[in-house]
Amino acid sequence: MHQTVLIPPLAATTAIITTTPDSPLAQPRRVIGGHMLSCLVCFAILALGWHGPWAATVACGIAGGLKLVLKATHPPAMATAVMIVLTNPPASRFVPLLAAGAVLLVLVQMVSSRLQREAYPISWW
């Protein structure tokens, strides 16, 4: 889909989910919500006409603060924020791919956990 900027943040998410599935950072609300909140904040920053490293820094800070308030902190989502602002991908293609990727990672971990008779997710909210 020509959105290689999704690879680093989703790879980091995969590492967190598969190695520490009981961690609060690996729970669905934080994985899906964290990436999507970063995504929305960054496209809002781009819509204001802000671009470049300073805009990425501002977007990262706003997204991080918002995720703290909403209890949706997920560190790899900060990479999502930086990638969006620095590359300015088309939202119509990027947002659905990011959402699908985050949801797919959660679903794969749920199936894997069931097969191994482990509990995942520990919590949804």
pLDDT at 8: 84
Spatial distance between the Cα atoms of 121 and 41, rounded to a whole number of angstroms: 26
Q: 86: how many CB neighbours lie within 10 A of its CB?
A: 16
Q: What's the pTM value of the predicted model, to 2 decimals?
A: 0.89
Task: Collect the ranges in the chain with pLDDT lower than 50.
Answer: none
pLDDT of 2 reads 59
The confidence score (pLDDT) of residue 64 equals 93
